Structure 1
């Protein structure tokens, strides 16, 4: 299945099921490079403990969320990161053209979950700042095996879909859907982000 066919399927499934799994969104060599970049940044202290909420409601609570993050943008000079940002921009544009979602921008960051961490059930679309429309997670976990944990559970009308965090897999889902990152029993890598209906510089406004 080529990328155009994958996109058509993504559009249908986002509309019908609320989520879409796109395997091999990036090649293995890019996964390896992105993990190396994340490890280097983590070792030099560029990752920060992730919190919950925005603005005045922001708080750190390891009983709810255990990951560490580093925001990504075009100030990053690494060619693989810039290529990925271009791919996400193209995907956003195509989704916008075909689904009329009013998407104008996206925000994204590396996320590392240390061993025995998780992110409890939540939604990505903040009540006080409801500009996130489509959430995405690109998994970077090479050689992931059953029992490593770190799956993402999406809750859909009384049923639960559990997504394995396989390297190169892109998960797209509607930002209002409840979901959680299950306990990760080994270090878990991803790039997580949101497609927005306002320019990113404006999403911090009430």
Structure 2
């Protein structure tokens, strides 16, 4: 299936079911480069413990969320990171033009889940700051095997969709859907982010 065909399918499925799984969104070589950059940044102390909530409601709670993150933007000097940002920008613009979602910007970060960590059921669209429209997760886990855990469970009205965190796979879903990262028994990597209906610098506004 061509990229254009996958894009059309993504548009249809986001509208119909609220999520879409896009395999081979990036190549194995790109996955390797991104994992290498994430590991270097982690060793340099650039990753921080992720929290829950936003602004005044932000808090750290390992009983709810166990990942570590590094925010990504165009100040990053790594060419592969800039290429991924370009791809997500292009995808955001296309979804906006075809689905009329009012998307203005996106924010994204590396996420690393150490062994035996998880993120309990939640939604990405904050009640106090409801600017996240489409969530995305680009998985970077080479040779992931059944039993490694780390799946993402999306809770739909009549079913639960379980998504394996396979290398190169992009998951798109509506940010108001409940979901969780199940226990990961192996170190788990991703680029995670959200497409926003307001410029990122203005998302502190209601």
TM-score, normalising length: structure 1? 0.99
Please tell me the root mean square deviation across aligned C-alpha atoms, in Å. Answer: 0.5
Alignment of 1:77-156 (within 5 A): 77-156=77-156
CA drift at 1:70: 0.1
What displacement does 1:196 show? 0.2
Query: Does residue 173 of structure 2 align to residue 173 of structure 1?
Result: yes
Q: What is the CA distance between 1:192 and its match in structure 2?
A: 0.3
Counterpart in the other structure of 2:20: 20
How far is the alpha carbon of 1:86 from its aligned partner?
0.3
Q: Distance in 2 between matches of 1:158 and 1:40?
A: 42
Q: 1:158-169, aligned counterparts within 5 Å?
A: 158-169=158-169
Are residue 189 (structure 1) and residue 196 (structure 2) matched? Answer: no
> C-alpha distance in 2, partners of 1:70/1:190?
11
Aligned to 1:31: 31
Q: Cα offset for 1:204?
A: 1.8
Return the TM-score normalized by structure 2: 0.99
- Secondary structure (helix, strand or coil) at the match of 1:81 reads helix
The runs of 4+ residues in structure 1 deviating greater than 6 Å are none
Aligned mates of 1:67, 1:170 — CA distance in 2: 19
Structure 2 residue aligned with 1:201: 201
Report the Cα offset of residue 159 of structure 1. 1.2
- In structure 2, what is the Cα distance between the partners aligned to 1:142 and 1:198? 34
Q: Distance in 1 between matches of 2:179 and 2:105?
A: 23
Shift of 1:18: 0.5
Structure 1, unaligned runs of 5 or more: none
Report the counterpart of residue 41 of structure 1 in structure 2. Answer: 41
Offset of residue 158 of structure 1:
3.2
Residues paired across the two proteins, number: 206
